[in-house]
Amino acid sequence: MEENGRFKAAKARHPEHFKISEMVINQLVKWLHRKDIPMPQTALGIVKFASIVRAFNLYKSINILLENDHWEDAAVLSRSLFELLLNLEEVIRDKETAEEKAKKYFKFRLLQNYVQTINLEQYEIQTGRAPNEQALKLKEMENVARSVFAEFIRKDKKSEWERSWCGKSAYKLASDSTNRMRTSQYKLLYSMFSDISHSSPYSTQITMSLGFTPKETKMLMQGRENYEREHMTLVLSVSTTWLLEILSIAGSEIPLYDIKWNFEVLSKIFRIYGVEPPKLPDSL
């Protein structure tokens, strides 16, 4: 939607929504861009802090896209934010095993680095950019990797690596979550966002308002603004909520973080939708 055309950008059309995202971003900048934040001393602490940073970077990117009427692209990043939350919940689900799970999570990242390196080396051999002798070195690297990362070798296909650090799909993570809403969120939101991520027919049509006849096109254009607003607010509200949930899990790694702030943000979101905000628990 053009700034000088019939419509202004989403940020100008719906400032009440972006006041919330700006509030969130400004607060997290104050909390995270400090020189006195202590370095995590455990694998779990590292995973938590890294998750917060990743979530914040995703959220900032989502906000930029939404401000400029690219809700469908923002939904792709929101999907990543949801997966980040699911994985973090899996790490901390059992307090007794959380540190060991964090180490496994950390180790899987090393495996991913190895796979990326191998794929690049193989490509260079196939395209003649590297000597054929390099294939022998790759075989040696593979043997070492299969020993070091033995826990990530697929049981059903010994020639392949697991696709996730815990061997679970996004759906399995959602269904195993202690939050009963995760399965519904997966079915309602993750599936839709995945259709966009995978460039399905749905993703190529959602930004178009063209019908088979001029009359049909006119009718589609008339409902376009409401459609854009509904999906923009959906992506922004769920992204903000998932970010807050990640903070509630990992916020202990930020010295100045106060979970009461989550309720302040949620209250503003509820009021925009005309819903009474939840009351702050007495324990807080």
When divided into structural domains, the chain yields a total of 2
Q: Are 190 and 63 in a shared domain?
A: yes
Q: Are 55 and 194 in a shared domain?
A: yes
Q: What is the pLDDT of residue 159?
A: 85
- Rounded to an integer, what distance in angstroms lies between the CA atom of residue 59 and that of residue 63? 6
Q: Is there a domain that residue 282 lies in?
A: no
Q: Are 113 and 89 in a shared domain?
A: no
Q: Are 220 and 194 in a shared domain?
A: yes
Place of tokens 């495996």: 111
Q: Are 200 and 159 in a shared domain?
A: no
Q: Are 182 and 79 in a shared domain?
A: yes
Nearest to 233 by CA among 60, 82, 74, 77: 74
Nearest to 231 by CA among 59, 20, 19, 71: 71
pLDDT at 1 over 60: no
Q: Is there a domain that residue 279 lies in?
A: no
Q: Is there a domain that residue 98 lies in?
A: no
From 144, 168, 192, give the residue that closes a domain. 168
Out of 153-167, 187-201, 220-234, 251-265, which region has the weakest mean confidence (pLDDT)? 220-234
Q: Is there a domain that residue 236 lies in?
A: yes
pLDDT at 155 over 50: yes
pLDDT tens string 41-65: 999 999 999 999 999 999 999 999 9
- Rounded to an integer, what distance in angstroms lies between the CA atom of residue 282 and that of residue 36? 31
Q: Is there a domain that residue 281 lies in?
A: no
Q: Are 73 and 188 in a shared domain?
A: yes
Q: Are 29 and 72 in a shared domain?
A: yes
Amino acid at position 42, single letter: T
Q: Is there a domain that residue 240 lies in?
A: yes
Q: Is there a domain that residue 283 lies in?
A: no
Nearest to 50 by CA among 63, 62, 32: 32
Q: Are 261 and 154 in a shared domain?
A: no
Q: What is the pLDDT of residue 209?
A: 54
Q: Are 87 and 110 in a shared domain?
A: no
Report phi then psi at 265, rounded to 5. -65, -45
From 168, 186, 207, give the residue that closes a domain. 168
Q: Is there a domain that residue 192 lies in?
A: yes
Q: 118 lies in which domain range?
A: 106-168
From 118, 145, 168, give the residue that closes a domain. 168
pLDDT tens string 211-237: 566 666 566 655 567 888 899 999 999
Q: Are 187 and 264 in a shared domain?
A: yes
Q: Are 119 and 24 in a shared domain?
A: no
